[in-house]
Structure 1
Amino acid sequence: MIEFRQVSKVFDSGGKKVEALKNIQLSVNKGDIFGVIGFSGAGKSTLIRTVNLLEYPTSGEVIVKGKNLAKLSHNEIREAKKDIGMIFQHFNLINSRNVFHNVAMPLLLSGYNKKAVEDQVYETLRFVGLEEKANNYPDQLSGGQKQRVGIARALVTNPSILLCDEATSALDPETTKSILNLLKRINEEYNITILIITHEMEVIKEICNRVGVMEDGQIIETGSVYEVFAHPKTATTRNFVKSVIRDEVPQSVYQLLKEKDHFSRIFKIEFFGADSGQPTVSKTAKIYNVEINVLFGNITELQGIPFGDLVVELIGDNYEIERAIEYIISQEIEVKEVIEDGSEQRIDIERVVGNALHG
């Protein structure tokens, strides 16, 4: 549906060349709600604006529904853009026009007749829940209502692609949730492909099925939302994931553990899918001569798949701890050891099994 092929964008800023995009290679499939996340200055807005040629790429190609818009004629570009709706962070409404005329603007500019405009505008306003606000002006609306007007305006031409440029960052949490639910309905009921950029990982978690992570004008990681949340590969992605899924034990807890007079080690046990419902920890405590002190636990659901982790203290002699960890790993559950500074290291399974066998 949308394909970025080695796309770069260079701006001239005070005589200096600034690379906003660097050889972007990325595909958005039909029916996706694809999220692009990154910190301010990562290049997200520039990326999304190349799709409808609000920014022309310096090099490379942006292919939309099989066509490179940059190579089309002026009239062809205008026709192609009718199939691409866009929602903006700050709504971009015309304050001197009421809701009806704000939504109708794309149709009026395209020369639709009066009856067709009325039918399409009122149908779209009904869908976004604002039919009764048709005669209101933007300054009479809440932030969430203004964004719904922006969404209606983007939908009124029946596009197959919807671009969302930080569509919820100016909204409060409750309103954000209602807008995200509306975007999900648009995707499901109209089969519209959505490309959304954001700096909020909660937005990605809530509605996206695939995600790309941007840093310094580059895509540094892509995958399904589940894959990226469960197995982040870069430090930037891990920081974003931690913003919505807390899995760190407070340092005060580590300090209390240091003051205890028994031998123990701390592990993070990660559960995915069906593993999340298994009583593995309680079984381990029954089979092996170890005490298990749960320090922290978290479970969430992404795309219908549960996953989470437990941070536990295993108390006992080192041999029994090694055997217990070997058992947990044998259940195809990932285990990491948490060392004193709070960092994590993978378990050397061959060493653990060897120690468990030979005592």
Structure 2
Amino acid sequence: MIEFRRVSKVFRSGEKEIRALKDVNLTVEKGDIFGVIGFSGAGKSTLIRTVNLLEYPTSGEVIVEGKSLAKMSEKELRKAKKSIGMIFQHFNLLHSKSVFENVAMPLILSKGKKKEIEKRVHEVLRFVGLEDKAQNYPGQLSGGQKQRVGIARALVTNPSILLCDEATSALDPQTTRSILDLLKRVNEEYKITILIITHEMEVIKEICNRVAVMEDGRIIEKGSTFDIFAHPQTDTTRNFVRTVVQDEIPESVYPFSPSNEHPGRIFKMNFIGSSSGQPVISKTAKSYDVEINVLFGNISELQGIPIGHLIVELIGTEYEIERALRFITTQNIEVKEVLEDGSQHRVDFERLVGNALHG
């Protein structure tokens, strides 16, 4: 549906060059709600603007529904752009025009028939819940209502793709949730592919089925939303995930404080799916000669699947700790050891056995 092939974008100001995009390769499949997340300056806004050629790539290609827009004639491009709707962070409404006129504008500019325009505008206003606001002006609307007008305007041309440029970052949390619910309906009922850019991981968690993480103009990680949350591979991604899912020991109970003596070893356990509801820690404590000190834990839900994080201290002999850990890992639980410098490493059973034999 949307394919970025080695896309780069360079902005020039005098002798200075800014490489906003660097050899980006990415595919958004038909029907996806695909999120692109990154900090300010990562290149995500530039990326989304290449889809409808608000920004032309310096090199590479953006393929939309099998065609490269950059290679089209002006007439072909105008037609193709009708299939790409866009909503913006700050709404981009004409304040001198009514809600009806704002939504109708794309159809008026394409010289549609008056009756057909009226019918279509009322359809999309009804869909976004603003039919009774048709004659109001943007200054009379709340932020959430303004964004609904923006969504209606984007839908009025019956697009197959909807681009969302930080569409919720100017809204409060409750309004953000309602807009995200509306976008889900757009995807489900109109079968529209949605590409969202955001710096809010909560938005990715709530609505997206796939996600790419950008940093310094590059895609540094991509995959299903579940996999990105459950197994982030880069520090940047882990930092984003932690804004939604807390999986670190709070400093107030951090075990390596000089004022505390912790004779045991610290392990982080990730529970996914059915393992989140199992009494694994209780079984371990009963079956093996180890003391278990729970330092931190939580459970969150992602796309209907529970994900749990637990940080524990195991106290006992190396042999008993090794036996306990082997049991825990057979329960579909990922285990990493937390070292004194805060780094995390997968459990090395060979080292555990070696320590036990020589202890």
Normalised to the residue count of structure 2, the TM-score between the two structures is 0.96
Partner of 1:35: 35
Partner of 1:343: 343
Distance in 1 between the 2:284 and 2:356 partners?
14
Distance in 1 between the 2:89 and 2:330 partners?
49
* Aligned-pair CA distance for 1:358: 8.9
Mapping of residues 70-85 of structure 1, within 5 Å: 70-85=70-85
Q: 1:133 to 1:263 in 2, by over 3 A?
A: same
Partner of 1:140: 140
Partner of 2:65: 65
Check conservation: 2:84, 2:161, Cα contact below 8 A. yes
SS at match of 2:35: strand
Check conservation: 2:256, 2:262, Cα contact below 8 A. no
Q: 1:350 to 1:196 in 2, by over 3 A?
A: same
* Aligned-pair CA distance for 1:171: 0.6
Q: 1:73-128 CA deviation, whole Å, 9 max, x = no partner?
A: 10100000000000001100000000000000011111111111111101100110
* Aligned-pair CA distance for 1:316: 2.6
Structure 2: which amino acid aligns with 1:177? Answer: R
* Aligned-pair CA distance for 1:313: 1.6
**2:215 equivalent to 1:219:** no
Distance in 2 between the 1:206 and 1:226 partners?
11
Partner of 1:286: 286
User: Identity of counterpart residues, as a percentage?
Assistant: 74
**2:108 equivalent to 1:108:** yes
Distance in 1 between the 2:290 and 2:250 partners?
23
Check conservation: 2:299, 2:309, Cα contact below 8 A. yes
Partner of 1:325: 325
Gaps of 5+ in 1: none
Distance in 1 between the 2:10 and 2:91 partners?
27
Q: 1:137-190 CA deviation, whole Å, 9 max, x = no partner?
A: 000000000000000000011100000000001111111111011101111111
Structure 1: which amino acid aligns with 2:53? Answer: L
SS at match of 2:53: coil
Q: 1:22 to 1:224 in 2, by over 3 A?
A: same
Check conservation: 1:323, 1:352, Cα contact below 8 A. no
Q: 1:352 to 1:105 in 2, by over 3 A?
A: same
SS at match of 2:117: helix
Distance in 2 between the 1:278 and 1:217 partners?
42
* Aligned-pair CA distance for 1:340: 2.4
Partner of 2:194: 194
Partner of 1:236: 236
SS at match of 2:340: coil
Distance in 1 between the 2:333 and 2:231 partners?
14
Number of residue pairs matched by the alignment: 359
* Aligned-pair CA distance for 1:357: 8.3
Structure 2: which amino acid aligns with 1:312? Answer: V
* Aligned-pair CA distance for 1:304: 2.2
Partner of 2:249: 249
Partner of 2:122: 122
SS at match of 2:91: coil
Partner of 2:315: 315
Q: 1:280 to 1:298 in 2, by over 3 A?
A: same
Structure 1: which amino acid aligns with 2:21? Answer: L
Distance in 2 between the 1:332 and 1:353 partners?
21
Check conservation: 2:33, 2:194, Cα contact below 8 A. yes
Q: 1:317 to 1:98 in 2, by over 3 A?
A: same
**2:70 equivalent to 1:87:** no
Distance in 1 between the 2:131 and 2:287 partners?
64
Structure 2: which amino acid aligns with 1:69? Answer: L
Distance in 1 between the 2:228 and 2:42 partners?
18
SS at match of 1:103: helix
Check conservation: 2:10, 2:17, Cα contact below 8 A. yes
Structure 2: which amino acid aligns with 1:197? Answer: I
* Aligned-pair CA distance for 1:255: 5.2
* Aligned-pair CA distance for 1:277: 1.8
Distance in 2 between the 1:86 and 1:328 partners?
48
Distance in 1 between the 2:179 and 2:292 partners?
43
Distance in 2 between the 1:47 and 1:323 partners?
50
* Aligned-pair CA distance for 1:257: 7.0
Structure 2: which amino acid aligns with 1:328? Answer: I
Q: 1:73 to 1:253 in 2, by over 3 A?
A: same
Check conservation: 1:163, 1:194, Cα contact below 8 A. yes
Partner of 1:22: 22
Structure 1: which amino acid aligns with 2:70? Answer: A
Distance in 1 between the 2:146 and 2:231 partners?
37
SS at match of 1:147: helix
Normalised to the residue count of structure 1, the TM-score between the two structures is 0.96
Partner of 1:272: 272
Check conservation: 1:322, 1:355, Cα contact below 8 A. no
Q: 1:140 to 1:313 in 2, by over 3 A?
A: same
